[in-house]
Structure 1
């Protein structure tokens, strides 16, 4: 097959499928972290370009399921509500994808990992970090730009959105749906951008398509857990996972 011809062993493919299954489960449970888990794990045994390409189709398909889980109406309303974040993210994914191989990896990992860790840890510790209503529009544009810049380079644009949603106290169902909508449109933009750069090609996309199956299976299992979590527990799980996410980004930078 294409990805085997590109140099991947059957063991590496099996390991990637196991990672996709785990990432799908976590995403189904809390609504995010699939790209973070996949990129973090893939970096141990895959080239950087194949790691980024490999997560593109699983991310796109699982976000489609997440965004439209309650139907078209709520998904379209969420799109309208978070349109500023979406516009900024899509535009800056396209911009930053063009310099994918020019940005030092350590720089973007630290610049994202440190503030995300500090924010989520403060929320876990009970420090109130609610965003005043009159700052929300400005914050939405700013965090959308940041998410887009990181998204085109690393395939990770979730943490800035999580910071915004946690700061504004969004209910669980809307929070998960908003992540699905934003991540879906971002995933389409990322794929389109890297079809242009050549990083997404028949070989890498064949590998990525194989990972859709375990990712989707994991996600449906995660949905079952999410449905049993009340609002308070869901928020705590989200904050805790965001702390681990930030620390992992810092760890990768220091290594």
Structure 2
């Protein structure tokens, strides 16, 4: 273990594991926000690139779990329904992932923090954009492309995805499953993209593997308590925490 985490003191690793556990709990309860919580929390402990590498494997497996909770048939139906979103997002994700090693760290922090804060503020103020359920493939392609673009660089594609699903009045249970499908496929592509970019490499892979256990445990706990809490109040509290974390990333990014 010491060889695997030679650059991470025990206290630092313990803090990272706690962030992964918290991210898993929130993920299990509300169906999203794991990348935002992990990249915000880990980015304040180990830096943006390691935070991005660390969240990849936990995001892949927890979203696979979430997407299959209602069975493979339902998950496949979601893939077909949102194929335009997935294709456009996948293309821009693969392209933008290659920019991670080129962009300065403070720019990456800003690109992560700003979407988190905007999303949190929009949700906290109850701003909703209404779209018809069908007949808007152009909008779907645009939102998917934007989600993939910021996702490739930051590991965060949840905000535009959640906003889009909310705008087309997706039922709660369906939305949670669809989010799992979209985020899961995106996370698989992110893994492949960042093997190519060098973010996921021999030094960072063990870190991402180590975060799997607390992330999965947290997700299990989140699923268990999902029906026992006031979802609306908890989501608001979560958004406040995310906004604070996002503002912290912006502060660090502006300090250069």
TM over 0.5: yes
Q: Distance in 1 between matches of 2:174 and 2:239?
A: 18
Distance 1:10 1:254, change over 3 A: closer
Task: Report if the CA contact (8 A) 1:112-1:246 is conserved.
Answer: no
Q: Contact 1:52/1:155 (CA < 8 Å) preserved in 2?
A: yes
Matched, 1:119 2:111: no
SS of the aligned residue for 1:69 comes to: coil
Partner residue of 1:248 out of 240, 245, 249: 245
**TM-align CA RMSD:** 2.2
TM-score norm. by structure 2 comes to: 0.88
Query: How far, CA to CA, are the matches of 2:75 and 2:236 in structure 1?
Result: 24
Q: 1:206 to 1:144 in 2, by over 3 A?
A: same
Secondary structure of residue in 2 paired with 1:4: coil
In the alignment, structure 1 residue 15 sits paired with structure 2 residue 12: no
Counterpart of 2:190? 190
Q: How does 1:162-181 map to 2 (within 5 A)?
A: 162-181=162-181
Unmatched 5+ stretches in structure 2: none
Deviations 1:73-104 (A, max 9, x none): 10000111111111111111100011113442
Match of 2:156 in 1: 156
Q: Does 1:42 align with 2:42?
A: yes
- Following superposition, the deviation at residue 167 of structure 1 comes to 1.1
| Secondary structure, aligned partner of 2:22 | helix
User: Which stretch shifts more, 234-243 or 163-172?
Assistant: 234-243
Task: Return the offset for 1:245.
Answer: 3.1
Deviations 1:150-200 (A, max 9, x none): 111111011010001111121111111011000100100110001111110
Partners of 1:191 and 1:200 within 8 A in 2:
yes
Instruction: Tell me the matched-pair count.
Output: 248
Secondary structure in structure 2 of the residue aligned to 1:45: coil
CA offsets per residue over residues 109-167 of structure 1, 9 Å max, x none? Answer: 465245424431342xxx55322446632221111111111111111011010001111
3-state secondary structure, aligned to 2:217: helix
Cα separation, 2, equivalents of 1:181 and 1:85: 11
Instruction: For 1:116 and 1:68, locate their aligned partners in 2 and report how far apart those are by CA, in whole Å.
Output: 27
Determine helix, strand or coil for the equivalent of 1:217: helix
Partner-residue secondary structure (3-state), 1:130: coil
Contact conserved, 2:117 with 2:242, CA < 8 A, in 1?
Answer: no
Distance (Å, rounded) in 1 between the aligned partners of 2:80 and 2:240: 29
In the superposition, relative to structure 1, how do residues 240 and 145 fare at CA in structure 2: closer, same or farther (>3 Å)? farther
Give the structure 2 partner of residue 24 of structure 1. Answer: 24
TM-score by length of 1: 0.88
- Can you list the C-alpha shifts for 1:15-55, whole angstroms capped at 9, x where unaligned? 11111111100000000111111111112220322111111
Distance 1:175 1:116 in 2: 17
